Structure 1
């Protein structure tokens, strides 16, 4: 079984205070292993991992893998964690975040041979949002959001997610 996982944080430092902070998570898993988990869990798995609002936006396998990436990005399962802390939403990430995600997805696709053609924006709630805010250290009442790309190829399912604060937009749209 091949499973690779990584997480990185690039929070803004005083020297880069004008730049947005970004947290990154990656999940690479064998397609067959992920399919078995989804099949074994059935409808209960779908309800456990996805919210009612997001069930039509992504499949359960993508939702699980992307949420694993988001968990890694915020630093793990914080006390009080729930799978519903991350919810796929309609709409697009901030333009700069979308460009960053596309660039990282292209590099990950080249490295794994998987076509990362699925995508969604994510809202963060609860303990996971709080964990992201602690790591990102944004201005008060800042907007925190997520975005992901995923796909498969060569027997692997690959997902990439970012969690970010857009400092320019945060004052206008607190969450």
Structure 2
């Protein structure tokens, strides 16, 4: 029975959940867990806080599912919840986060065990970028959003998103070359 649910579109699942099949929300969580977690982790900088906020995002999404009008993709709607949840959490905790994140990054670039996959290195490189750059890259690659959708989320013109994405890619390349050149040679 579980496999039947996976073939359904988000809209079909949401329709059934609203009609009372609440257990189907687990399918949406499963579908968007890593997307939400990746977005949240970028903002938080540490797994513990990210896990707490990601859970909070799904709780809020479940509670406000009735507000989802379906005029944007579910992932786009979910992203707006991620944004407000992160902002709320960081407002309460801000001063510690930034300094911790820098120390953590400095430490783990010197730890060879931490460099085991290019994915980790890429994620760390993105965390070194400005929040705006990280946001546009994450939405484009992780969320697979179109430039139009990213524009709607970030409140920008599509053209501005294009320029930002181009600049963010350029900065990411610089960061990777500067911090990870040694690793890629080995």
Q: Same fold (TM over 0.5)?
A: no
Bigger-Rg structure (1/2): 2
TM-score range, shorter chain: under 0.3
Higher helix share: 2
Higher RCO (CA 8 Å, separation ≥ 6 residues)? 1
- TM-score normalised to structure 2 length: 0.24
More strand by share: 1
Normalising by structure 1, what TM-score? 0.25
